[in-house]
């Protein structure tokens, strides 16, 4: 196998560092893959390159994100040209070009909107995607020195993967996406995490936040999918409240570095939970430098 094509977007809670160990929890033969909180799509991209071909239903409630995926699939070359133009202008005057693009809400074509989102993702503070109640992107400029805004090779490789037969991309709430699930599906749920502190709230992903009641509803859907006969894998924050919602399922505690934190010293030594609907192999370690041992709790009885 050649080198892996990784996500073309940075994303808060993105799973690039965990893609390999998460893949170990997935069946070798995938009948159908369903991911309703798509984000950076790291696990999907990894599985698409390391498993026999499989159909996939990819979706997200963020319509602008879905537009980016569709444009990468359909118009990667034209998208790259616009991004390269952004790159040239940004290098000449980074902050000025960033805020000009960020605050431009005039009507744009779908490819221009996709390029705008990728550009902002590469140049905003920590790659964070956040909108206000009016739906306007409001993240400040990041501190970068000549960031790579356009990677034609990555866009072309991702386009090839998304153009495979049976890959379906749509904008939808997760409940609509999982309503069509059937026995044998592999479902990966990576919702906006339940914040552990008041200052760690990054749930303003769309104009509607994802609060604790939404996590309760998602846990009910996890139970339904498991009863239906799906293989379900879920990621979330390492919280007692989340553990309680998935009591009876296999829960693993995964050590991981966070890229989204204003204090660099707090980007290490953190952990999150991985829940599976059936007994699964223990994730033992991350493949990256600075990897940490991972602990697994035995499945509890209901």
Q: Given CA atoms 125, 128, 131, 136 in this order, what sign does their dihedral have? A: positive
Task: Give the count of beta carbons closer than 10 Å to the beta carbon of residue 297.
Answer: 12
* pLDDT computed for residue 262 by the predictor: 44
19-61+172-297 and 66-153 share one fold: no
Question: Which pTM was predicted?
Answer: 0.86
Identify which of 204, 39, 78 has the alpha carbon closest to the alpha carbon of residue 137: 204
Residues forming a β-bridge with 4: none
Domain boundaries, the chain: 19-61+172-297, 66-153
* pLDDT computed for residue 127 by the predictor: 87
* pLDDT computed for residue 267 by the predictor: 39
* pLDDT computed for residue 197 by the predictor: 65
Could you report the average pLDDT of every consecutive run of 10 residues in the chain (302 residues)? 85 87 95 97 97 97 96 98 97 97 87 96 92 89 94 97 96 96 98 76 54 96 97 96 95 74 46 88 50 34 32
Q: Say whether 193 sits in a helix, a strand or coil.
A: coil
Q: Look at the domain 19-61+172-297 and name its fold.
A: Rossmann fold (3.40.50)
Place of tokens 């991981």: 256
The domain 66-153 is placed in CATH, from the list 1.10.1020.10, 1.20.200.10, 3.40.50.800, 3.30.420.40, at 1.10.1020.10
* pLDDT computed for residue 206 by the predictor: 47
d(CA 6, CA 148): 14
End-to-end CA distance of the chain: 42
Give the DSSP per-residue string, 46-110: HHHHHSS---EEEEES-HHHHHHHHHHHHHHHHHHHHHHHHHHHHHHSHHHHHHHHHT--S---H
d(CA 92, CA 75): 27
């Amino acid at each position: 196998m050649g080198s892996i094509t990784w996500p073309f977007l940075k994303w808060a809670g993105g799973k690039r560092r965990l893609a390999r160990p998460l893949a170990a929890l997935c069946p070798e033969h995938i009948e159908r893959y369903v991911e309703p909180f798509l984000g950076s799509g790291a696990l999907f991209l990894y599985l698409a390159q390391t498993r026999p071909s499989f159909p996939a239903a990819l979706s997200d409630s963020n319509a602008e994100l879905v537009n980016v995926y569709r444009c990468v699939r359909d118009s990667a070359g034209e998208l790259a040209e616009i991004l390269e133009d952004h790159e040239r202008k940004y290098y000449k005057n980074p902050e000025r070009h960033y805020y000009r693009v960020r605050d431009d809400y005039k009507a744009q074509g779908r490819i221009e909107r996709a390029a705008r989102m990728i550009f902002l993702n590469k140049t905003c503070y920590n790659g964070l995607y956040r909108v206000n109640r009016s739906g306007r992107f409001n993240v400040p400029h990041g501190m970068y020195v000549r960031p790579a805004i356009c990677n034609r090779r990555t866009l072309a490789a991702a386009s090839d993967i998304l153009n495979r037969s049976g890959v379906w991309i749509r904008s939808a709430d997760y409940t609509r996406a999982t309503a069509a699930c059937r026995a044998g599906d592999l479902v990966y749920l990576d919702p906006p995490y339940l914040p552990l502190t008041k200052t760690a709230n990054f749930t303003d992903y769309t104009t509607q936040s994802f609060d604790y009641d939404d996590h309760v509803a998602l846990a009910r859907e996890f139970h339904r999918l498991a009863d239906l006969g799906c293989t379900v894998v879920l990621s979330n924050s390492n919280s007692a409240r989340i553990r309680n919602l998935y009591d009876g399922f296999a829960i693993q505690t995964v050590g991981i570095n966070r890229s989204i934190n204003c204090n660099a010293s707090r980007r290490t030594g953190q952990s999150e939970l991985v829940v599976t609907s059936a007994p699964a192999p223990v994730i033992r370690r991350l493949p990256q430098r600075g990897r940490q041992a991972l602990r697994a709790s035995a499945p509890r009885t209901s």
